[in-house]
Amino acid sequence: MWDISTLDTVASTQETVRARLREDPHMPEGTGVRAIVQTGGRGRHGRVWDSQDGDLTFSFLLRPARPVAEWGSLALLAGVALAQAARQDTLCLKWPNDALLGGRKCAGILCEIEEDALIVGLGVNCMPVAEGGDRASLHGQWVAPALMDAFLRQFAPLYERWTQAGFAQVKPLWMHYAHAPGTPVSVKQGPQSISGFFEGVGDDGSLLFKDEKGVIKSLTAGELTVG
């Protein structure tokens, strides 16, 4: 199902796929772009996504057959595919879209709805990162093109399962790579930050968060900090 072209330098693979979709509204599912160098990468909440030559940066188009209300869970699905592909014992998924190694972020996933389609973008650090910083890397384990191929091989059957039966079918796999239920976390929503515990995720991919009074809430947005 995949047709990912490689470009030398782009500002953002996410924007390149978006521009291609606008030019060709029938752009097929599974087509996308990998950049060898991405100069203007974006993350969630309008943040900058920094990468260097040799990191993995790519985006692809999906046309999910399930209701749009369920599309948010595809970020979690992509996390599972990345964890399965990377085969790192210590890799941990943090809701909704981060992959961590040793508590530091090694990858981020960005899912954006565009018209009746979804653009999925992945950034994975494959080159060395500064020691003592907040980033981790798969340097020495993976090179970008091989990791992308491994990811896509894992993503395809998971997506098929999601299409047939929804995220509930994939949830146990996500939980396998997630923090243990009961882990202390805080969730920032706008200016407000609340402390509590990670309980898991719902069948729709929402965060199940237990507050300090023991009340479990289902959250669809927010910034999770562990510890």
Q: Is 147 in the site for ligand BTN (CB under 6 A)?
A: no
Binding flag, residue 125, ligand BTN (CB under 6 A): no
Question: Residue 47: how many CB atoms within 10 A of its CB?
Answer: 11
Each residue 8-47 as x (binds ligand BTN by CB under 6 A) or -, in order, gives ----xxx--------------------------xxxx--x
- How far is it, in rounded angstroms, from Cα 172 to Cα 112? 24
Minimum gap (Å) between residue 20 Cβ and ligand BTN:
13
Near ligand BTN in 87-106, by CB under 6 A: 97-98
Name which of 94 and 179 has its Cβ closer to ligand BTN.
94
79 sits near ligand BTN (criterion: CB under 6 A): no
Write down the least CB distance from residue 42 to ligand BTN, Å. 4
**Applying CB under 6 A, which of residues 21, 27, 32, 49 lies at the interface with ligand BTN?**
49
Query: For residues 110 and 117, which CB has a smaller minimum distance to ligand BTN in the complex?
Result: 110
Q: CB of 91: closest distance to ligand BTN in angstroms?
A: 15
The closest alpha carbon to 80, from 66, 65, 69, 95, belongs to 95
Q: What is the DSSP string of 154-218?
A: HHHHHHHHHHHH-GGGTHHHHHHHBPPTT-EEEEEETTEEEEEEEEEE-TTS-EEEEETTS-EEE
From CA 119, how far away is CA 141, in angstroms rounded? 27
Detail the DSSP E strand segments found in 12-124: 31-38, 56-62, 91-94, 98-101, 104-114, 117-124
Residues that bind ligand BTN (CB under 6 A): 12-14, 41-44, 47, 49, 57-59, 97-98, 108-110, 121-123
